[in-house]
């Protein structure tokens, strides 16, 4: 038949076009990958050549060599005669020390300011708005230098400010009263943690049983036993001491207590205040994202404002808040690398010193990347898990 004859080539052409699209895609991919490989290969061969000219051997063997770099502020035992690997571990601990404390404090401060911005008190909400606007619009590095300069301008240890008994603020940093932590104390802390996780599992079970039969079961006797009884028992059994030691001025410096070095303290203040401004905005928009009807309904039930906020609005707001909060935590962790500007030795600063001493540029940068990628991934994983958990609350 004459009519069916032209149909064949047409259909074929369509198929050809589809194939051409696929071929196009394939060609594009090959071209892009080839260019990428060529560029990386070229850079790599240049690097190998330059390294051999400068007599720098590649590889991580340098980590075993003596570092010879002093680290002033460290929680771990460290001396300049230790190898580079040890210095790096000290740096990682220093980074985590400022990041973890910073995240906790920034969350608390940011949430308070975010709620203050929504306050019905005009003065409070305006003040919070000014705080957010000023801190967000000035570079963090500038703020850090500013805090550090203020810190250096504080009186010497002899004339330290004493806002409360046992707390000293001077150009040596902040000195706080502390409880000396020994092995027995660590066991007690472990007991508290074990009690907390047991309580968490117990609560889940109790809630499940209440779901089944509708009878409310009190949790507090268990809480008392697990969080107070168990640690107290462990403390008695091991004879842990909980005396608070107050710092004292002896000669030119302080003895006893917990000292936050000015570098650490300045970095912490800068990170916390800067990040809290962003967190405040996230919290504010999260709360505002909860429909007004939820407030109205809760008010109609005659619930107290604080109860409404805690039990009705915040759980819903959290779902909006968590994802941007995660990226703020990541930012804070990455921003902690500004430490190098005030001489707090975090992992980036130590890698930089290593790089200058050994010339192992590629390895040092690779280590920084590995450390930060690991931290970023852990924070993301944890926050995704938490996010999934609160998302499940929906029934």
Partner 1 sequence: MISITDAPQNPLPFDARSRGTPAGRAVRWLRTNLFASVTSSIISVLLIALLAKAFVSLVQWGYWNAIWIVSGNQSGPCRSIRGHGACWAVIPEKYRFILFGTYPFNEQWRPALVCLTFIALFWVSSRRNWWRKELVLVWAAALVLIGVLMWGGVFRLSYVSQDRWGGLPVTLILATFGLAFGFPLGIVVALGRRSKLPAIQSLCVLYVELIRGVPLISLLFMASVMFPLFLPDGVNIDKLLRAQIAFILYAGAYLAEVIRGGLQAIPRGQHDAADALGLTYWKKNGLIILPQAIRHVIPPLVNTFIAFFKDTSLVLIIGIFDLLTTAKTSIIDPAWQQFSVEVYVFVGLIYFVFCFAMSRYSRQLEAQSRPG
Residue 245: C-alpha distances to residues 157, 241, 255 (Å): 18, 11, 10
Residue 204: C-alpha distances to residues 197, 207, 217, 394 (Å): 11, 5, 12, 16
- Which residue's CB is nearer to partner 1, number 177 or number 343? 343
- Which residue's CB is nearer to partner 1, number 12 or number 17? 17
- Which residue's CB is nearer to partner 1, number 149 or number 207? 149
Among 266, 283, 60, 234, CA closest to 150: 266
Name the site residues for partner 1 (rule: CB under 8 A). Answer: 25, 28-30, 32-33, 36, 43-44, 46-47, 49-51, 53, 119-124, 127, 133-134, 136-143, 145-146, 149-150, 153, 334-335, 337-338, 340-341, 348, 351-352, 355, 361-362, 365, 368-369, 372-373, 376
For the CB of residue 388, give the shortest distance to partner 1 in the complex, in Å: 20
- Which residue's CB is nearer to partner 1, number 96 or number 199? 96
For the CB of residue 85, give the shortest distance to partner 1 in the complex, in Å: 19
> SS3 string of 182-240?
CHHHHHHHHHHHHHHHHHHHHHHHHHHHHHHHCCCCCCHHHHHHHHHHHHHHHHHHHCC
Q: Residue 163 corresponds to which tokens in the numbers above?
A: 């806002």
For the CB of residue 28, give the shortest distance to partner 1 in the complex, in Å: 6
Residue 133: C-alpha distances to residues 147, 279, 351 (Å): 18, 12, 34
- Which residue's CB is nearer to partner 1, number 43 or number 193? 43
Q: How far apart are CA 263 and CA 260, in angstroms?
A: 8
For the CB of residue 147, give the shortest distance to partner 1 in the complex, in Å: 10
- Which residue's CB is nearer to partner 1, number 259 or number 349? 349
- Which residue's CB is nearer to partner 1, number 141 or number 230? 141
C-alpha of 77 from chain center: 24
For the CB of residue 279, give the shortest distance to partner 1 in the complex, in Å: 15
For the CB of residue 368, give the shortest distance to partner 1 in the complex, in Å: 5
- By DSSP bridging, strand 258-260 and strand 248-250 are unpaired
CA geometry: angle 151, 156, 161, nearest 5 deg: 75
For the CB of residue 315, give the shortest distance to partner 1 in the complex, in Å: 24
């Amino acid at each position: 038949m004459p009519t069916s004859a032209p149909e064949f080539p047409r259909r074929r052409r369509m198929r050809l076009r589809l194939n051409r699209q696929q071929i196009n895609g394939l060609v594009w991919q090959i071209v892009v990958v080839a260019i990428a490989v060529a560029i990386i290969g070229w850079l790599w061969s240049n690097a190998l050549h330059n390294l051999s000219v400068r007599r720098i051997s590649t590889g991580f063997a340098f980590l075993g060599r003596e570092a010879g770099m002093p680290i002033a502020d460290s929680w771990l035992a460290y001396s300049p005669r230790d190898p580079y690997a040890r210095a790096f571990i000290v740096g990682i601990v220093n980074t985590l020390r400022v990041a973890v404390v910073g995240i906790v404090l920034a969350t608390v401060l940011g949430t308070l300011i975010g709620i203050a911005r929504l306050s019905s008190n005009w003065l409070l909400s305006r003040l919070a708005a000014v705080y957010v606007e000023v801190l967000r619009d000035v570079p963090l590095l500038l703020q850090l230098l500013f805090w550090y300069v203020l810190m250096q301008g504080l009186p010497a240890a002899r004339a330290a400010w004493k806002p409360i008994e046992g707390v000293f603020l001077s150009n040596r940093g902040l000195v706080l009263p502390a409880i000396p932590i020994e092995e027995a104390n660590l066991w007690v802390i472990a007991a508290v943690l074990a009690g907390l996780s047991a309580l968490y599992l117990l609560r889940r079970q109790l809630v499940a049983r209440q779901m089944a039969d509708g009878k409310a079961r009190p949790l507090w006797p268990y809480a008392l036993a697990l969080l107070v009884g168990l640690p107290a028992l462990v403390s008695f059994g091991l004879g842990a001491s909980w005396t608070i030691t107050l710092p004292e001025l002896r000669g030119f410096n302080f003895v006893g207590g917990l000292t936050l070095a000015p570098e650490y303290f300045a970095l912490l203040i800068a990170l916390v205040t800067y990040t809290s401004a962003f967190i405040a905005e996230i919290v504010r928009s999260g709360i505002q994202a909860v429909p007004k009807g939820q407030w109205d309904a809760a008010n109609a039930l005659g619930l107290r404002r604080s109860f409404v906020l805690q039990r009705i609005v915040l759980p819903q707001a959290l779902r909006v808040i968590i994802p941007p909060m995660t990226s703020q935590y990541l930012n804070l962790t990455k921003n902690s690398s500004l430490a190098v500007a005030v001489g707090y030795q975090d992992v980036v600063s130590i890698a930089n010193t290593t790089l200058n001493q050994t010339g192992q540029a590629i390895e040092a940068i690779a280590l920084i990347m590995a450390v930060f990628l690991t931290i970023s991934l852990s924070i993301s994983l944890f926050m995704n898990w938490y996010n999934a958990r609160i998302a499940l609350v929906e029934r």
